Amino acid sequence: MDVEALISAALREAGYGPDVIGSALPRIMRILDAEDVRIAVGRSLSRKERDYVRVQLELGLGVSEIVSGLQR
């Protein structure tokens, strides 16, 4: 089971309906991806870097692409 399906199942089990899950799940996944970026970089990100990561995730870039952009 992938992470998205696991979180969706957990939200359903907690009593949340499809509308709430549909609106919350993308944000939860972006938060997890942002944490993956921080772990991959190996340090805390500055405010400017966090803003950069947020925008890149909203544009649909993957974690590896964002990490390579931060390391340039």
The whole-number average pLDDT for the span 4-32 is 95
- Nearest Cα to 34, choosing from 21, 22, 52? 52
Structural domain includes residue 3: no
- Is 13 within the bounds of a domain? no
pLDDT tier for residue 13 given thresholds of 50, 70 and 90: very high
| 7 lies in some domain | no
Q: What is the mean pLDDT of residues 52-64?
A: 94
pLDDT the model gives residue 68: 93
Q: What is the DSSP letter of 16?
A: -
Could you give the number of structural domains in the chain? 1
Domain assignment present for residue 18? The answer is no
Taking the C-alpha atoms of residue 54 and residue 32, their distance in angstroms, rounded to an integer, is: 11
Instruction: Give the range of the structural domain holding residue 30, as residue numbers without chain letter.
Output: 25-72
Query: Is residue 31 a part of any domain in this protein?
Result: yes
| pLDDT score of 31 | 93
Residue 71: pLDDT band (50, 70, 90) is confident
Q: Evaluate if pTM is beyond 0.85.
A: no
> Does residue 16 fall inside a structural domain?
no
Residue 57 lies in a domain: yes
